Amino acid sequence: MFNIFKREGLFGDVNQITPEDAHKKISEDKGKNTLIIDVREPHEFNGNLGHIENAKLIPIRLLPLKIADLEAYKDKDIIAVCHSGARSYSACSMLKRHGFDKVYNLKGGMLLWKKSGLKTFI
């Protein structure tokens, strides 16, 4: 299956997914069963690291206000993305507190995604 690591956090386990495994997962299901949430700021989302195709931009500061909007995605896998993995880790913890079970933190964030040679969009 996919190489997913667990990391113990303040609010329980947060699953980690590598950029390669995230890309494989997104490619295999054509985004039908996976939602990508980018929790960076708009200038980062459109900046030099770019963003993952079809990622939904929800800055971490606005995530608490958008939880209700994400209820429709509770049955899908959610991959949270940020610059290096710290903010997206917090986003995963927040989503888990609100009953989202299938959340994954993109290990290394967009830095590792780009370093891995995976395609980005600006």
**Which candidate in 82, 92, 94, 103 is catalytic?**
82
82 is catalytic: yes
**Residues, the chain, total?**
122
Q: How, if at all, do strands 56-57 and 77-81 pair?
A: unpaired
Residues designated catalytic: 82
